[in-house]
Structure 1
């Protein structure tokens, strides 16, 4: 069962979980800055100064570690970007700041998605997290009184947000991304 399936279960606490989170943060950093192919037991262990056997203990396989890092990054970013807002005027309100502050998490997610699309990762895990993002957008549309009975508008809005993130990496221009977000919100407000 992936972490996406475990979202209703309580999180573990304590030193073991703190170590696991540090390992995941190291994997996210390495994947986001160097690519997923550079995420190894040794590189993750070296990043936080522990033995590589500890990484194997926590994750078992490199693929399990990458999947857990992807899921951690995606869940964090969905909350931090405010895909779930009380009104469409606040939809993705912190997306631009998130992209500027820590691009490694988003880069990991795209890298993981491409690996999965090429058959080297779990497409169901990617789909589950995309479904999570889309559900956040759908909840925002619903709370704003925007009718979307078949969910196609939420799909479209998330696809636009996903594309804006990619364009942000191409252009590196926060103002450009913000203008596009503002325009999307204005269009939705008139929907």
Structure 2
């Protein structure tokens, strides 16, 4: 087996307060939950328009690279709608917003539970950094709790999926061991 590292491109996989900051827009609250070294990001809506938080992604592989993104989310049963109709959108703000991919459009089938949402997409040519935008429910007083983001190339994702004893959380780059 040829050893190569598996790279985690999400810059703040533990949602640490001291990690990469998410920008917030809209009506609601963005909080980092569960203590000092936590793994949760919670978005709460103050009205029926909700809020969103964005993160510029830098240091990504070359244009045309196939990517995988996965996130776990707890969606309460009252969160029957989401801003932008999904949990997360990738896009570029160059010359207006260009959507690249969306994750969690099927949130309605997981109300009241935790689900894992995964999307595959190709990195587009972009002048500005690619952005990942998380969306809150568009229901007043409802929140979504996001956990365990993974952003990898498709090749790394495939290697990660077949690893024996693979870690559930990927905090940094991994090096699979030969067996």
The bucket for the TM-score relative to the shorter chain is under 0.3
More strand by share: 2
Larger relative contact order, structure 1 or 2 (CA cutoff 8 Å, min sep 6): 2
**Higher radius of gyration, 1 or 2:** 1
| TM-score calculated relative to the size of structure 2 | 0.25
